[in-house]
């Protein structure tokens, strides 16, 4: 009896276990089915692909900004001099420029999906290895590889967004894309300073390694492989792309290093420019003798495209108001550290959001040229406010102007991107993949050149105007002048308690007076910089007035 009862209990427990196992298998099957349905709903979803576009643009912009802002920390970590370390961002940006035209060849040959997934993988590996570089040579090599990999993000992802997203949502995507780019520039300083203060300078590179996989997931799910070609394969040549891409990257390097190396007085700059000129001639000859079916630049030759490119140059120059002038002013006059400057730049975030949303709504109801011009007008007003700066200004003095300039930048850039998209329809750039790749690559190159040319011009302007103001102030600060003598006397009295004797106190007073002259000269030079930006913004308004009315407007009904 006992054995039968034990056998019955054993059979019952086995039945319960089998039932639980069956339920577990059923649950796992349901989860797998649900996962398949979720993946299926995301597969080739244009909204997921658009998210990948935003991530790719933001990652490249933020990575470049972090490298530029964090250059002093990189110098300290690797024990590099200023001249040596200056090539770290230059190497990265030259590689970005190289991949602008060359990505057209790769995208047309292999398809955007394959190129983006492969290059993103390389970019992640480089981002992980860069902080571990034992010397400058290794870091420069990794920077070049990183730039070549991430240089495909802008042209190839943007070309996908222009073709895949429903037209009625394009206007909203433009607003978000614009806030993504300008916002990444604004938060770069604060983010880099926070990494250095609380984590490590290594995160200047590592943050891209953590963000890029999410972009890869969106691309893997949303961007399909190109359909197989029908008919005979065209004869493809990479030489023309190589010559042109290398020429543009060399010109970019000359612009980036020109001010430091004294332009044409440097053999390096002359060599870069001469080689670039030779390669451009070779590119033109190659294009003339053997046209490449994978690029079609002829459709870009029209009035609105030329004006929009000039407006993009102007906008990149205008962005220097937050990317170059404001951090330099606060560091000079108030000895702000990057973290403190970053807090001031964060004031832009809310105005950027409001400006982007407002511009997207205005583009639905008004001619985009009006929205475009109004954004530059607001920027010009903000720069005229900042042109009144003095050496006593601190972060709080820039509060109003930062809010105004944030609104203006968001409105103008949203309208700029919208104008490029509308122009893509007008020029039939979206009619085939080759045209859209050419168009996106062209915009990418103009964007990089505009930023670098603007930076080079602004740095030269600040240098020349500082020398001018220093000389003008120096005319009134000369030995024998009673004002100069009185100033030196007061400084000497203040420094005497901490000096060995009267002679040392007087020498220190003279040095302090020279430093005050230099401070005032730079302050006035930066004020001139803001005036120059206001003039460029007003010139952009004149350019916009010369644009032809656009035929296609975004239908969001």
Mean pLDDT over 459-464 rounds to 90
Q: Quick one: which of 220, 206, 245, 226 has its CA closest to 118?
A: 220
Percent of the chain with pLDDT over 70: 73
Mean pLDDT over 427-434 rounds to 72
Neighbours of 289 (CB within 10 A): 8
Mean pLDDT over 173-198 rounds to 76
Listed in order, strand segments (DSSP E) in 398-550 are none
Is pLDDT at 543 greater than 90 in this prediction? yes
Residue carrying the six token digits 């590119």: 283
Q: What is the pLDDT of residue 229?
A: 58
22 vs 213 pLDDT, higher one: 213
List % helix, strand, coil for the chain (3-state, nearest 5): 85, 0, 15
Mean pLDDT over 356-380 rounds to 86
Q: What is the pLDDT of residue 99?
A: 86
Query: Of 15-19, 190-194, 391-395, 518-522, where does mean pLDDT reach its minimum?
Result: 15-19
Is pLDDT at 164 greater than 80 in this prediction? no
Question: Between helices 368-386 and 303-318, what is the axis angle to 10°?
Answer: 30
Asked whether the beta carbons of 386 and 441 are under 8 A apart, the reply is no
Q: What is the pLDDT of residue 107?
A: 73
Exposure of 33 by Cβ count < 10 A (0-12 exposed, 13-18 middle, 19+ buried)? exposed
Q: What is the pLDDT of residue 361?
A: 79
468 vs 156 pLDDT, higher one: 468
Mean pLDDT over 288-308 rounds to 75
Mean pLDDT over 181-194 rounds to 79
Q: List pLDDT tens digits, range 268-291.
A: 999 999 999 999 998 888 877 777
Predicted confidence band of residue 81 (pLDDT cuts 50, 70, 90): confident
Please tell me what DSSP assigns to residue 151: T
Rounded to whole angstroms, the Cα distance separating 258 from 338 reads 25
Q: List pLDDT tens digits, range 212-252.
A: 999 899 888 887 776 665 555 555 567 777 888 899 899 98
Query: Of 45-54, 146-155, 169-178, where does mean pLDDT reach its minimum?
Result: 169-178
Predicted confidence band of residue 140 (pLDDT cuts 50, 70, 90): very high
Predicted confidence band of residue 143 (pLDDT cuts 50, 70, 90): very high
Please tell me what DSSP assigns to residue 397: G
Is pLDDT at 302 greater than 90 in this prediction? no
Neighbours of 388 (CB within 10 A): 11
Looking at every residue in the chain, the average pLDDT score rounds to 78
Percent of the chain with pLDDT over 90: 19
Q: What is the pLDDT of residue 35?
A: 38
Query: ∠ CA(307), CA(322), CA(187), 5° rounding?
Result: 110
Neighbours of 134 (CB within 10 A): 8
Q: List pLDDT tens digits, range 41-74.
A: 455 677 787 778 778 878 888 888 888 888 888 8
Is pLDDT at 114 greater than 80 in this prediction? yes
Is pLDDT at 128 greater than 90 in this prediction? yes
Q: What is the pLDDT of residue 1?
A: 47
The segment with the largest mean pLDDT, out of 246-260, 299-313, 323-337, is 246-260
Is pLDDT at 16 greater than 50 in this prediction? no
Q: What is the pLDDT of residue 17?
A: 47
Q: List pLDDT tens digits, range 370-391.
A: 888 999 999 999 999 999 988 8
Q: What is the pLDDT of residue 142?
A: 94
**One-character DSSP codes across 317-384:** HHTHIIIIIHHHHHHHHH---HHHHHHHHGGGHHHHHHHHHHHHHHHHHS-HHHHHHHHHHHHHHHHH
The segment with the largest mean pLDDT, out of 124-128, 312-316, 348-352, is 124-128
Q: What is the pLDDT of residue 152?
A: 84
Is pLDDT at 144 greater than 90 in this prediction? yes
Mean pLDDT over 475-487 rounds to 58
Q: What is the pLDDT of residue 490?
A: 61
Q: What is the pLDDT of residue 58?
A: 83
Predicted confidence band of residue 538 (pLDDT cuts 50, 70, 90): very high
Rounded to whole angstroms, the Cα distance separating 235 from 250 reads 28
Is pLDDT at 124 greater than 90 in this prediction? yes
Q: Quick one: which of 179, 48, 184 has its CA closest to 113?
A: 48
């Amino acid at each position: 009896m006992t054995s039968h009862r034990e056998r019955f209990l054993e059979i019952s427990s086995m039945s319960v276990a089998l039932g639980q196992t069956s339920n577990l298998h059923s649950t796992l099957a349901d989860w797998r089915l649900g996962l398949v349905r979720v993946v299926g709903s995301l597969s080739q979803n244009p909204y997921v692909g658009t998210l990948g576009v935003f991530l790719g643009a933001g990652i490249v912009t933020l990575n470049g900004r972090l490298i530029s802002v964090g250059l002093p920390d990189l110098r300290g970590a690797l024990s590099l001099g200023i001249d040596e370390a200056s090539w770290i961002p230059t190497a990265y940006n030259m590689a970005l420029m190289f991949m602008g035209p060359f990505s057209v060849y790769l995208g047309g040959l292999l398809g955007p999906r394959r190129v983006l997934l492969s290059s993103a993988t390389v970019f992640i590996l480089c981002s992980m290895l860069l902080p571990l570089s034992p010397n400058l040579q290794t870091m420069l090599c990794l920077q070049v590889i990183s730039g070549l990999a991430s240089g495909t993000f802008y042209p190839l992802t943007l070309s996908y967004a222009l073709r895949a997203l429903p037209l009625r949502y394009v206007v909203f995507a433009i607003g978000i894309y614009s806030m993504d780019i300008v916002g990444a520039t604004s938060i770069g300083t604060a983010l880099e300073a926070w990494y250095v203060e609380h984590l490590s300078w290594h995160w200047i590179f590592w943050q891209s390694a953590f963000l890029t996989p999410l972009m890869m997931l969106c691309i893997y799910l949303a961007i399909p492989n190109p359909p197989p070609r029908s008919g005979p394969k065209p004869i493809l040549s990479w030489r023309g792309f190589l010559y042109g891409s290398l020429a543009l990257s060399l010109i970019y390097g000359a612009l980036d290093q020109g001010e430091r190396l004294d332009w044409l007085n440097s053999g390096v700059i002359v060599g870069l420019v001469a080689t670039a000129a030779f390669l451009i001639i070779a590119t033109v000859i190659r294009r003339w003798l053997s046209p490449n079916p994978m690029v079609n630049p002829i459709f870009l030759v029209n009035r609105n495209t030329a004006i929009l490119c000039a407006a993009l140059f102007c906008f990149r120059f205008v962005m220097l108001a937050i990317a170059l002038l404001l951090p330099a002013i606060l560091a000079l006059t108030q000895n702000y550290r990057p973290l403190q400057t970053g807090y001031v730049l964060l004031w832009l975030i809310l105005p950027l959001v409001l400006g982007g949303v407002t511009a997207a709504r205005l583009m639905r109801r008004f001619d985009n040229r009006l929205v475009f011009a109004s954004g530059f007008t607001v920027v010009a007003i903000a720069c005229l406010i900042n042109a009144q700066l003095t050496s006593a200004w601190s972060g709080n003095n820039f509060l109003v102007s930062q809010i105004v300039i944030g609104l203006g930048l968001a409105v103008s850039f949203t309208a700029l991107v919208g104008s490029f998209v509308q122009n893509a329809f007008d020029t039939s750039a979206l009619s085939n993949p080759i045209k859209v790749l050419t168009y996106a690559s062209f915009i990418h190159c103009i964007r990089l050149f505009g930023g670098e040319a603007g930076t080079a011009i602004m740095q030269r302007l600040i240098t020349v105007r500082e020398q001018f103001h220093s000389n003008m102030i120096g005319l009134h600060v000369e030995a024998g002048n009673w004002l100069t003598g009185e100033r030196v006397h007061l400084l000497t009295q203040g420094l005497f308690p901490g000096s060995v004797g009267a002679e040392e106190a007087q020498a220190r007073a003279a040095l302090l007076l020279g430093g005050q002259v230099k401070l005032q000269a730079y302050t006035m030079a930066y004020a001139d910089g803001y005036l120059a930006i206001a003039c460029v913004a007003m010139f952009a308004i004149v350019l916009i007035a010369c644009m032809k009315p656009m035929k296609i407007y975004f239908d969001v009904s």
